[in-house]
Amino acid sequence: MINLNTAYDPGSLDSGASYTHVEITNVSFNVEHQAINLSLMYGTAPSGNFLQGKSSAGSFRIANDGQSGTDWDVFEALTAVDGTEKCVDAFTRALCQWLLNKSHFAGTIV
Residues with Cβ within 8 Å of residue 60, at least 6 apart in sequence: 37, 38, 40, 99, 102, 104
CB within 8 A of 9, min separation 6: which ones? 17, 18, 19
pLDDT at 92 over 80: yes
Q: Give pLDDT tens digits for 32-49.
A: 888 899 999 999 999 999
Q: Which residues contact 15 (CB under 8 A, 6 or more apart)?
A: none
Nearest in space to 82 (alpha carbons), one of 97, 94, 73, 71: 94
Query: Which band of pLDDT confidence, cut at 50, 70 and 90, is reported for residue 81?
Result: low
More confident residue, 96 or 82: 96
